[in-house]
Homo-oligomer: A and B are copies of this chain.
Amino acid sequence: MASIRRLASDAPGFEAELASLLAFESAQDEGVDQAVQVILEAVHTRGDEALLEFTARFDRWQPKAARDLEVDPKLARAALDRIPAAEREALELAAQRIRTYHERQRQDSWRMEESDGTVLGQQVTPLDRAGLYVPGGKAAYPSSVLMNAVAAKVAGVGELVMVTPTPGGELNDYVLAAAAIAGVDRIFRVGGAQAVGALAFGTATVPAVDKIVGPGNAYVAAAKRRVFGRVGIDMVAGPSEILVIADASADPEWVAMDLFSQAEHDEIAQAILLSPEASLLDRVAHVMERELPTLPRHAIAGASLAARGALIQVRDLEEACEIANRIAPEHLELAVADPDALLPKIRHAGAIFMGHHASEAIGDYCAGPNHVLPTSRTARFSSPLGVYDFQKRSSVIRISPEAAARLGKTAATLARAEGLEAHARSAERRFLKPR
């Protein structure tokens, strides 16, 4: 194992080292973007015909007709019946916990009434139709289907449309089973930028949606960026990250496994440990060296840790929290004796895991909160995926005749200050020329 780097916050040059460790520019590949533009344009103008061509070319199977792109819902139920009982129960338990948590996120309409009868409020409604992109092939993650689909269904989305590529024509049973559990309404076996285009523009077979969510490769991400505005999109995710803050009470084996669980995702994933305890850092490093070779994905995890991992000795837990706020990590574990003392100091993090037993792995699958979280410091201004991403608000404004006069004068004054005479007249006509 190329050893994971050790840093100390009081060493000269630490600031620069930390900055270079965190630096990650998600290079937008011009070639990818141009290819995506061509694909989107083809889907926009030629619809299903383009979907059939791209599916044959990229997914290496030939649908006979566009209707073959849709998966019969019975197949999803059949997959659910076919998978092993342990996996089925695990998916069902996870879905139930995700549902319970997300139900707390549902926002309700509200109104406030004033004494003269003026009523102001906000009407909250779900999206009519949402699209869920699910990667296919080897990186098929049923947990991701649950996280996205349950949030959408709890919000009350009218129709949830899932798209997923089936390389070589092969459907993934776990993905289908998760879709059945989550109540996905329609499933299409199409992927890549062409699937994003189909959801954004609609074709004769695939209905147009109002928002597209879900992870995907560089082509999918570029396509989502391009259709944004016509439809809503969720965030475009960067590499996954974990930051662990540990004190002397932490178990080095547990911490090491948590760093591994992030590093095994991807060579560019980032796992960082902050602790004031040099001996804990030593023991974590020791466990990692010993156990890394035993991981099936040791090559990926090793590359990630060597390139972007770090064990950092800090002055104290206070400083650890300051550094955490600068990093604004996707996942933050507070592996300390008293996590409640640190929580108020944490301003920016996607998810905060409190205490020794809260492993990120449990959060990834079944604690209940969403595992789609802001990456690359975007937790400074954005939030986990949630029910609120599938609801939207309309302001509601009812003005009494008295308020139309009183507020109308104010509106007319401001409108004229801004040079907008018709605005002023629109307000004034209601009280200068009452009906």
Q: Residues of A with Cβ closer than 8 Å to B?
A: 26, 86-87, 89-91, 93-94, 97, 101, 104-105, 110, 112, 118-120, 122-123, 125, 127-128, 138, 140-143, 174, 210-211, 229, 231-232, 236, 251, 253-254, 257-258, 260-261, 263-265, 295-297, 301, 339, 343, 346-370, 373-374, 376, 378-384, 386, 388, 392-401, 403-404, 407-415, 417-427, 429-430, 433, 435
Contact = CB atoms under 8 A, between A and B. Distances in A.
B357 A257 contact: no
B413 A86 contact: yes
A364 B423 contact: yes
A179 to B, nearest CB: 15
B349 A381 contact: no
B355 A399 contact: yes
A421 B295 contact: yes
A414 B379 contact: no
A367 B407 contact: yes
Contacts of A352: 123, 394-397
A283 to B, nearest CB: 13
A347 B410 CA distance: 31
A261 B357 contact: no
A197 B373 CA distance: 26
Nearest to A427: B361
Nearest to A347: B125
13 contacts: A87-B417, A90-B409, A128-B347, A260-B426, A349-B394, A355-B398, A356-B435, A359-B430, A361-B408, A363-B395, A364-B411, A380-B392, A386-B393
A273 B370 CA distance: 43
Nearest to A403: B357
Contact of A411 (B361, B398, B421): B361
Instruction: Identify which of A232, A362, A399 gathers the most chain B CB atoms within 10 Å of its CB.
Output: A362
Nearest to A396: B352
Contacts of A425: 257, 260-261
Nearest to A406: B93
B373 A395 contact: yes
B393 A384 contact: yes
A425 B138 CA distance: 21
B26 A433 contact: no
A359 B396 contact: no
Instruction: Identify which of A353, A367, A417 gathers the most chain B CB atoms within 10 Å of its CB.
Output: A417
Contact of A264 (B128, B392, B423): B423
B210 A357 contact: no
Given A364-B411, A422-B301, A123 B343 contact: yes
Nearest to A325: B128
B253 A394 contact: no
A434 B360 CA distance: 17
A435 to B, nearest CB: 5
A357 to B, nearest CB: 4
Contacts of A174: 417-418
B433 A253 contact: yes
Nearest to A126: B347
Contacts of A91: 414
Contact of A408 (B118, B265, B359): B359
A410 B343 contact: no
A351 B229 contact: no
A404 B253 contact: no
Instruction: Identify which of A253, A367, A395 gathers the most chain B CB atoms within 10 Å of its CB.
Output: A395
Contacts of A404: 357-359, 362
Given A379-B392, A422-B263, A429-B257, A414 B362 contact: no
Contacts of A386: 393
B229 A376 contact: yes
Contacts of A370: 395
A260 B422 contact: yes
A417 B346 CA distance: 34
Given A264-B420, A364-B411, A415-B361, A393 B399 contact: no
A365 B399 contact: no
Contact of A257 (B26, B264, B378, B422): B422
